[in-house]
Structure formats: structure tokens, C-alpha cells
Amino acid sequence: MTTTFDIPKTSQAAVLTKHSEPLEIREIPVPQTLEPGALLVRIEAATVCGSDLHLWDGSLGGSQALDLPVIPGHEMVGRVIAFGDGAERDTFGTPLEIGDRICFTHASCNQCDHCRFDNQPTLCTNRQYYMFTNCERPPYLVGGFAEYAYVFPNSGRVRVPDEVETSWASAASCALRTVVHSFERIGKMNPWETVVIQGAGPLGLFATALADHLGAGRIITVGAPDTRLAIAKQYGATDLVSVAEHPEPEDRVAAVRELLGGHGAEVVLNRPGSSGDFVQATSRTEATVGRCSR
């Protein structure tokens, strides 16, 4: 193990001990030795994903087994303070040094059929998860809401460039990756295409920025509140549809059609996390949209 820092014996962490109850601040053991391929990082930022809220209230338990207590948080950036053997490069081969910032992900086994043959690591039955894993067993620091975190040997990890703010990289480590995958499924973006993005949360805002970056001719962001719509405008939205001003789904469909001269959009992305809005997007795409990502 390589380190130039004194590794502390314990780390403070915000721990979920009971659903819908306040998080408890605990002293969690810090691993003093690392597995080959693992790293130890000092957390600089951990952003709050919607999944963290659903973890807290218990509604996320159906997607993955929960064994409380756990440390929430899976969007985070940390500075490397210790290397396990062979961990001196990120996933893309970029050399890592003590003090470098990285963002990192859950760890798939790379051995099961889902990993090797299906190219579906999210279905890995041996996956190691942040925020779902009990924090009373080694390696303990398995969530972002802590002073330090353990980077699993198989965790994807990316060195954060010096010019990228920590808060941006932290949010991008989950929400932006999700949006990038959506646009990979959509394919090439054409300058004559209109993209409608339903939702102005992190996913919707990142989708707005990426649609602009990829050259979409017109981007209509639907959402609320107005402060988020203002950010969407900064991120490249050409038109905005306020949910506050158009509270009914039919009103929002009509507002989009009015903007487009009675037509629909070529691409619709549903990013608000609401089943009602999913139905709204589906009905619209069936009538007028050639491509869609949900």
C-alpha cells in the first residue's frame, strides 16, 4: 500500500439507521490496509441524488437489498490518500498520484455472464454498491456522506481534470453518466431536430446541456421551479415550458405544439421521475416523435 499521509483511525459519517429518521453522525473505522486495486480517498464533495432520498424513506429497498445501517451517497469526489497495489491509474489509464481528485462508481465483478457476455454490469449479481452496503463491516466507508471513502478494487474511477470544479464532477458521476448513456442510445443529433426534455432536475439540466453540446437545433425544457428553468436557459434551452404555468399534462403538450407550429418533437427525453409524465411523453411520442429515450 502506498501513502504519504497518516491514515486516521476513524472517519465521521452520516449514517442511515432507520428509514425516514434523521441521519446519525457516527465514527466509522478507516481501513488501514487496502486490497490490490483499491484506494482510500478523502471526500471533497458528495452531491445528493434522488436515489439518496428514496434510500432514506425506504422506497428504494425493492431495487436492491438493504442492510442497515448504511452511509448514503454515491455521487462523490475524493482526493486520493492511499493506493492499494496496482491502483495507480484510473479506468482510462491516466496515472494517479497522491492528492489527485477522482470520481468513482459501484463495482461490478467483471466475471459473471451479465458482465462478460451481456455487457450489462448494472445487472451483476456480485456487484458491490455504495449506499446499500452495511457500514459496520469492512471496508466500512462505503458511502459518500463521510469524511473518507473506500474505493472498491473494481470500481470505475476517473481522475478529475484540474479545470473541473469538484461540485460539477460529483454531480456528473451519476446524473451526467445516465444522460450520456441516453444520448448514446439515441445516436447522432442533427441540427434540424427538436429535443423536448421533460424535467429540470439534475438529469434534465444535464440533458439540456448535452443536447446543446451535440448540436440539437431546438431544445425545449419542461419543468419547475422557475429558478431551475433559468439554469436550463443558461445550459442551452431555446424554449421553456413552466409546469407552474401549465399544471396539466395536456396543457404542456399544447404548449409544446404551439411552440412547434402544431407539430411534435423528433426526440423526447423523460427526466422528471414521474410516472404521469412518462405517460405524457409516451402519448406524445406515439403521435409525433421518431426517436425517444426514456
| Residue boundaries of the structural domains of the chain | 10-175, 187-293
pLDDT at 48 over 70: yes
What pLDDT does 291 receive? 53
Taking the C-alpha atoms of residue 106 and residue 252, their distance in angstroms, rounded to an integer, is 37
What pLDDT does 119 receive? 79
Cell of 6: 497518516
pLDDT at 226 over 60: yes
The CATH fold of domain 187-293: Rossmann fold (3.40.50)
Compute the C-alpha angle 238/244/246, nearest 5°. 75
Banded pLDDT at 63 (limits 50, 70, 90): low
pLDDT at 274 over 50: no
Taking the C-alpha atoms of residue 1 and residue 129, their distance in angstroms, rounded to an integer, is 23
3 state SS of 229: helix
Q: What are the tens digits of pLDDT across the range 203-223? A: 999 999 999 999 999 999 999
The CATH fold of domain 10-175: Quinone Oxidoreductase; Chain A, domain 1 (3.90.180)
Average pLDDT over residues 135-162: 97
